Amino acid sequence: MQSALSLSFSQSSLPLANRPFCSSNAAPSFTPRNLRFCGLRREAFGFSPSKQLTSCRFQIQNRRIEISASAGNGAPSKSFDYDLIIIGAGVGGHGAALHAVEKGLKTAIIEGDVVGGTCVNRGCVPSKALLAVSGRMRELQNEHHMKAFGLQVSAAGYDRQGVADHASNLATKIRNNLTNSMKALGVDILTGFGAVLGPQKVKYGDNIITGKDIIIATGSVPFVPKGIEVDGKTVITSDHALKLESVPDWIAIVGSGYIGLEFSDVYTALGSEVTFIEALDQLMPGFDPEISKLAQRVLINPRKIDYHTGVFASKITPAKDGKPVMIELIDAKTKEPKDTLEVDAALIATGRAPFTNGLGLENINVATQRGFIPVDERMRVIDGNGKLVPHLYCIGDANGKLMLAHAASAQGISVVEQVTGTDHVLNHLSIPAACFTHPEISMVGLTEPQAREKAEKEGFKVSIAKTSFKANTKALAENEGEGLAKMIYRPDNGEILGVHIFGLHAADLIHEASNAIALGTRIQEIKLAVHAHPTLSEVVDELFKAAKVDSPASVTAQSVKVAV
């Protein structure tokens, strides 16, 4: 729904200080400007008081203020039920739906399970609740750390069910928040398993609806390799582990990526011994090698963790009849038997697989590739003949470009920009990632080996800048000086190629670098930015300042730190 209101006035009728966009040094003049206001009450524009405006625009033109406001879910194109149909109400679908309503699109979102998808219900949200507990337990258990503060703490303990309830309650709260946010904006939440029937046509349950554009956002499920029998009790995936139905004395974790590392942090803090089983020759594959080496020294070696690298878990049998979980290991290269482990439990953390079965892709001649739906750089779905399927998009884990919840949301927003007339291509190298261990690991852009490979192909030089948390006042005040920040960049033009951080609140610190990459900001410009002192943000500030760039800064502002 759209409404408009125009107000006329003369320039002389306004006090000088109140004249919009007026210069006190020149004759008053009005330049067309757009101001966006969100959350304004509908009553202000003559609407019924039952809902709020989702957005409005004030445009000053020829001495008139023209106000246009969109209220709730828009009206669809005449030939369709909806402007946009989203299949999957996870974080990606939710982000797309909210942006679509803001853009005035009548939007429906279809969910066959529960709103929030993997992230909210079985992933990043409940896992952060468990990690919050593990962080506090780890600190309370560290007698040396507490004594450094002059604190004396008796032996720390925990209630397993209380910890599990904290994770479950957080997931419920966030799920309700997501649901309510869409309902408040008028998004139609449709319950049922969604599938594409044909061009611009979707079925859910026994219902068929049409949409001008369709987004597939069905996410992923835990990947379980062949030979592994999951019983949900002693051999589990992350879905089961987040319920924390038990804390085993000894648990094997298959995979040492993000999921495996975070759960090792949780289990060791709660008293378990952990054994990593990793197919590659080193732990933490995918991280920058230098960061991995430091992280292993801090997160693995001092804790009750051992590991087997270069091996596959070819067979895992759940515990039963009084026997422990049996894990048969084979050499990852030769496939020869290596060892057999007997443990209390095994967590399968070997990544995730796209959830794309049963979506009706055959109706539009789309064939998945290793389960992923093929898309171009604008998330447009590609059919079996290599042609774009009109008005069909796929975002998030289902397309495999970058399996992160916030990447799915960013892709969804990018698609909405496109269907509303603005060409937009998301730079995936600007999307940060984080591992919420204690301390945390974060990264954006290329690793050092990736950057050097790119430099060799394209003919430019690579430089490295580093800074330590040991030089940061705030980190030392927290007695958390263990950490490193590393930047890979081009010295010829100041382009940031990648930033990697290991240390206190690394997940929060990475965004200045990710935004710089997204906006194309060069080091010689961002190194002049102001950072409050003393804060952890100065770790990144010193990282930028440590870089040596040939090109001078394009601005002349002086860098100043503000002491508080």
CA dist., res. 563 & res. 530, Å (int) = 11
- For residue 163, the one-letter residue type is V
Query: Could you give phi then psi for residue 126, rounded to 5 degrees?
Result: -65, -30
CA dist., res. 121 & res. 172, Å (int) = 8
For 110, residues 6+ apart whose C-beta sits below 8 A from its C-beta are 85, 86, 87, 88, 89, 190, 191, 192, 194, 202, 204
Beta strands in 230-302 (DSSP E): 235-237, 250-254, 273-278
CA dist., res. 363 & res. 361, Å (int) = 5
Indicate the length of the chain as a whole number: 564
297-301 contacts at long range (C-beta below 8 A, 24 or more positions apart): 298/439, 298/482, 298/502, 299/261, 299/264, 299/265, 299/437, 299/438, 299/439, 300/264, 300/276
Contact in structure between 486 and 466 (CB atoms under 8 Å): yes
5: Cα within 13 Å, side-chain hemisphere: 13
For 36, residues 6+ apart whose C-beta sits below 8 A from its C-beta are 55, 56, 57
CA dist., res. 463 & res. 454, Å (int) = 13
CA 275 vs CA 225, 301, 325, 345, 417: distances in Å: 18, 12, 13, 10, 46
Other beta carbons less than 10 A from residue 455's beta carbon = 16
From first CA to last CA, the distance across the chain in angstroms is 48
Query: Could you give phi then psi for residue 431, rounded to 5 degrees?
Result: -90, 120
Q: Read off the tokens for 387.
A: 């042609």
Q: Read off the tokens for 170.
A: 């957080």
Instruction: Given the residues 145, 166, 406, 533, select the one marked as catalytic.
Output: 533
CA dist., res. 502 & res. 442, Å (int) = 7
User: For residue 309, is it left (φ>0), alpha (ψ between -120 and 50) or beta?
Assistant: beta
Query: Could you give phi then psi for residue 260, rounded to 5 degrees?
Result: -60, -45
Establish whether 533 is a catalytic residue.
Answer: yes
What interhelical angle do 91-102 and 160-184 show, nearest 10?
30
Query: Could you give phi then psi for residue 200, rounded to 5 degrees?
Result: 60, 30
Is the backbone peptide bond immediately before 491 cis, with ω within 30 degrees of 0?
Answer: no
Other beta carbons less than 10 A from residue 46's beta carbon = 9
Catalytic machinery residues: 533
